Amino acid sequence: MRAPLRLTLLILLLLLPLHTMADWQRIEALKNKVGTETPQTSGLQIGLPLVADDGASVPLKVTFNGTLAADEYISGLYVFASQNPRAEVIEFAFSDAIPRIEVSTRIRLSETQTVYVLAKSNQGNLWLANQDVRVTVSGCLMTDEDGTVTEAQMSQPRIALPRNPKAGEAAELRTMINHPMETGFREDSQGNLIPQQLIESLQVSRGDETLFSVTFNTGTSANPFVAFFLDQFDDLTFTWTDQQGQQLSETR
Amino acid sequence: MIELFEDHLQAVLWSGALLGLAYGAAAQWSRFCLYRGLSNRWQSGDSIKLRAFVLAMAVALLSSQALHWLFGIDLTQTHYHQRSPSWPLLLGGGMLFGYGMHLANACGARSLVLLGSGNLRSLLVLLVLGVSAYATLSGLLAHPRIDLEALTQTRLPATSIDGLISLTGLSASLSKTLTLLVLAGLLLFWALKSPALRQSPRDWIGASLIGLLTAGGWWVTGVLGADDFDPVRLGSLTFVQPIGETLQFSMLSSGMKLSFAVVVVLGVILGSFVRALFSGEFSWQGYESPQQMQRGILGGLLMGIGGVLSLGCTLGQGISGFSTLALSSIAALAGILIGAQVALWLDSRKTTV
């Protein structure tokens, strides 16, 4: 290889990280959240499969283990998918009562793309992480998104507390509720647009204090699943609210 | 039982591996093979192997339906029960599969068993089969497949044989009982009518075991795998997509989760290997001529493509799908039989001319 060619290649290689770092700025919603801050890039981990053969339900896990100041805690996590019709996928809001930042859910990815997660602390510090997912056309021939319209009513709320909960020891809680999470982008078999029907939020509270809340969006899979960590498991109220303002509450 | 494991997924994976081991050993011991059954019957009129396959169908049907009755496993939730299937693709895919099975001298499941006993010819068949299955499922051929499917789909009033019968006004439970009695009765009668099969315990015990293992698959995924939050997809023994998934897993395991289908495939190879080793039947074998190799490659290709179009192979549609009474299984199995018969007929013309 001749020297000028080698030099050009080297420069291109050096430019590569710059190019990928700038990619997230193309997502308007994410750019607005970041503002003029510079997010840190280590400390936030995304767990996603490399290849998803069912883009309607891709398991996502986000873990934070970065360093925080003495009275600093992570107050929000925001998930974005660069190529979805709407970039906003799901948002989590934490109070300082959450012992560990590790949440799991299932998301929709319309095509092969990059998933971004932004974490924000109560002092305004930011962390950003991203991961690529290759989405293939449906591997299984039967999907739940085949043009049939299911009734958009919340039903069958499920809450699983940890098997042997001990106060003071962080353990995972899982929640799920049945709902089609109609995006408003889909057509029925006659070609008419199916109106949007979403569950807007899940709120977990003890008495008047909100411990944890989730805002769902079009990128959240049908029958929203959320798992998170707590270390006190008494007097918990779980409230799901849909776009019509209807609420469904469960107490544990 | 589930307390033995960390969670239900672990339980499903370990039981799946055991199920695969048992299938591998049973099929290696009994030389269970639909293609061998068809070609023996065609060439020498010996129908033991074919009757053994039919016996496995009957046992799988009865035991799977018993599981449905005992545990309420909803077998209509499987992908064999298509609301809008494409008949031409089911039948045509089955025919490609049947023809490929003739070229490669064994179906996908049999190739796994043969590989375990040292047959390296089937390694090539399996590699080609796995890659072409995924090419059809999500790769180069995926879009043509989806377009063809959309063109040829027909919406059905029912997805199962008993569902179709209950359209005449019979109650659902009555039509199910009737279907079961008639189908299982006919199959058992034809299989066991032959004294040769009755006197060959290797064949009838092997076939019955394989039938029961199919029901075992429904139990593992449907009962052990049941979970409010993360249910395992209902499935049983099937060997086209899983062979492809096993290849994919070997290449992408750092970003993929181990699944029931993959552990079954690995279990079958290991089970057959162990049984072949202990019985002294293990021996290395390879291709003897480039022509034989060409047939193997083409056979694997046709089985991979055909198996995806018909939603399953001899085991997947012929036994597992059939045990759920799915209409799509009947079409696919008919396609496989036609494809293999045509291949045998063409072959016999070639040799006599």
For residue range B276-304, what is the model confidence (pLDDT) as tens digits? 999 999 999 999 999 999 999 999 999 99
* Amino acid present at A14: L
* Average pLDDT of the residues in A118-122: 93
Domain extent listing, chain B: 2-352
Residue B49, token pair as written in the block:
């192997």
Helix (H) or strand (E) holding B38: helix B34-44
Check the CA dihedral B102-B108-B109-B112 and report its sign. positive
Residue A111, token pair as written in the block:
């095509």
pLDDT at residue A148, rounded to an integer: 60
pLDDT at residue A7, rounded to an integer: 79
Q: In chain A, which residue ranges form alpha helices assigned H by DSSP?
A: 3-22, 28-34
Print the SS3 string covering B35-70: HHHHHHHHHHCCCHHHHHHHHHHHHHHHHHHHHHHH
* Average pLDDT of the residues in B210-219: 96
pLDDT > 70 in chain B, percent = 99
Residue A247, token pair as written in the block:
């609420």
* Average pLDDT of the residues in B157-165: 90
Average pLDDT, chain B: 93
**B-interface mutation test, from A137, A146, A164, A223, most B Cβ less than 10 A away:** A137
Eight-state DSSP code of residue B136: H
* CA gap B314, B109 in Å, rounded: 8
* ipTM of the complex, rounded to two decimals: 0.76
Eight-state DSSP code of residue A138: P
List of chain A residues whose C-beta atoms are within 8 Å of the C-beta of residue B137: 53, 136, 139
Domains and CATH numbers, chain A: 39-138+149-251 (2.60.40.2470)
Eight-state DSSP code of residue A235: S
Closest CA to B348 of B102, B146, B86, B144: B102
Is residue B201 very low, low, confident or very high in pLDDT (cuts 50, 70, 90)? Answer: very high
* CA gap B110, B269 in Å, rounded: 10
pLDDT at residue A120, rounded to an integer: 93
In the predicted structure, residue A82 carries a pLDDT above the cut 50: yes
Look-up of token digits 């047939």: B295
Is residue A143 very low, low, confident or very high in pLDDT (cuts 50, 70, 90)? Answer: very low
User: Interhelix angle for B121-138 vs B142-152, to 10°?
Assistant: 60
Most confident among A61-65, A136-140, B76-80 (mean pLDDT): A61-65
Q: Which of residues 123-182 of B touch A (CB under 8 A)?
A: 137-139, 142-143, 146, 149
At a CB cut-off of 8 Å and minimum separation 6, what does B146 contact?
A137
* Average pLDDT of the residues in A7-22: 67
Helix (H) or strand (E) holding A227: strand A225-230
Phi, psi of B239, deg, nearest 5: -140, 25
Interface contacts (A, B; CB < 8 Å): 44
* CA gap A79, A113 in Å, rounded: 13
**Beta bridge partner(s), residue B304:** none
* Average pLDDT of the residues in A230-244: 92
Q: Do A50 and B252 touch (CB under 8 A)?
A: yes
> Is the Cβ–Cβ distance between B221 and B79 less than 8 Å?
no
Is residue A21 very low, low, confident or very high in pLDDT (cuts 50, 70, 90)? Answer: low
* Average pLDDT of the residues in A149-174: 86
In the predicted structure, residue A17 carries a pLDDT above the cut 70: no
In the predicted structure, residue A29 carries a pLDDT above the cut 70: yes
At a CB cut-off of 8 Å and minimum separation 6, what does A16 contact?
none
pLDDT at residue B225, rounded to an integer: 92
> Is the Cβ–Cβ distance between A128 and A42 less than 8 Å?
no
* Average pLDDT of the residues in B114-137: 96
Is residue B256 very low, low, confident or very high in pLDDT (cuts 50, 70, 90)? Answer: confident
Considering only residues A140 and B301, tell me which one the structure prediction assigns the higher pLDDT. Answer: B301
Q: Do B138 and A176 touch (CB under 8 A)?
A: no
In the predicted structure, residue B221 carries a pLDDT above the cut 60: yes
Is residue A142 very low, low, confident or very high in pLDDT (cuts 50, 70, 90)? Answer: very low
Q: Do A174 and B143 touch (CB under 8 A)?
A: no
Is residue A252 very low, low, confident or very high in pLDDT (cuts 50, 70, 90)? Answer: confident
Q: In this complex, which of B138, B149, B257 lies closest to A139 when CB atoms are compared?
A: B138
Minimal C-alpha gap between B248 and chain A (Å) = 10
Strands A171-178 and A113-121: unpaired
* Average pLDDT of the residues in A25-37: 84
Whole-prediction pTM value?
0.87
Is residue B140 very low, low, confident or very high in pLDDT (cuts 50, 70, 90)? Answer: very high
pLDDT at residue A102, rounded to an integer: 95
pLDDT at residue A236, rounded to an integer: 92
In the predicted structure, residue A165 carries a pLDDT above the cut 90: no
